[in-house]
Amino acid sequence: MPTRFKNGLNNSAPSDDLSELIILDPTKVHSYFNDFDTYTAADWTITTTEAGAGSATEALTDADGGVLLITNDDADNDRDFFNKVGESFLMASGKKAWFKARFKVSDATQSDFVMGLQITDTTPLDVTDGIFFQKDDGDANLDFYVEKNNTATSATAITTVSDDTYLTVAFYYNGDDKVEYFVDNVKLGALATTNLPDDEELTISFGIQNGEAVAKTMSVDYIFVAKER
């Protein structure tokens, strides 16, 4: 049975402008959530390489939950990387931030991929600023980076990715001294904020690169980002 708050529920101070609001104040955080029930090409800057016989594609696919399917062209190192247009998340002391995404890749070993927050960049596998998960070609190990001005604090091989198997990745910046990272809802560790990218805004960034001359795919179920105002 649900708990019923028939008169509403509020998280504002009595003197706040939204103190009488009967739902939780949505302006407490700046948030982004995309369940990929819809996809608008104009929302994204996509950097792609198509040395194979065809072209990369990115489109909604028929799957429960709403899924964006990214399919590379079929040469080795062909790739398709997304930056959401408009960098809109600036990490700042005193402001907590959260990121969570669910996705899978067709080949956990013969691929490179990134998922997280980065600056808008045509080289997301070699980006200079961001907080993101990355997997390199040739292994199935997921790595986590907190990087500023091309200097990173990282945790390598935090988990092993499997072929065609969804995983969730998440991180939480406590607004102070650490960035905790999670996989499949389990906290695996935390990094210091020595290289927290706090001098420029970040945007949602993800994509996949082939590790061999076979078209690889990435399926993105959802992406959530929030930061305290």
> What does the binding site for another protein look like in residue numbers (CB under 8 A)?
41-42, 44-51, 77, 79, 85, 112, 122-123, 125-126, 136-138, 209
Instruction: Find the shortest distance in angstroms from Cβ 127 to another protein.
Output: 10
- Please give the sequence-ordered ranges of beta strands (E in DSSP) within 106-216, or none if there are none: 111-118, 130-135, 141-148, 151-160, 167-173, 178-183, 186-192, 203-210
CB of residue 55 vs another protein: minimum separation in angstroms? 9
- In the complex, the smallest distance separating the C-beta of residue 91 from another protein, rounded to whole angstroms, is 23
Task: Name which of 78, 118, 55 is nearest 126 in CA terms.
Answer: 118
Q: What phi and psi values does residue 120 have, to the nearest 5 degrees?
A: -65, 125
Cβ distance to another protein smaller for residue 128 or 160: 128
Which of 77/109 has CB closer to another protein? 77
- For residue 46, the minimal CB distance to another protein (Å) is 4
Q: Tell me whether residue 77 or residue 153 sits nearer to another protein (CB atom).
A: 77
In whole angstroms, give the CA distance from residue 35 to residue 65. 7
The kind and range of the H/E element at 220 are: strand 217-228
Q: How far apart are CA 193 and CA 115, in angstroms?
A: 19
**Which residue, 161 or 170, has its beta carbon nearer to another protein?**
161
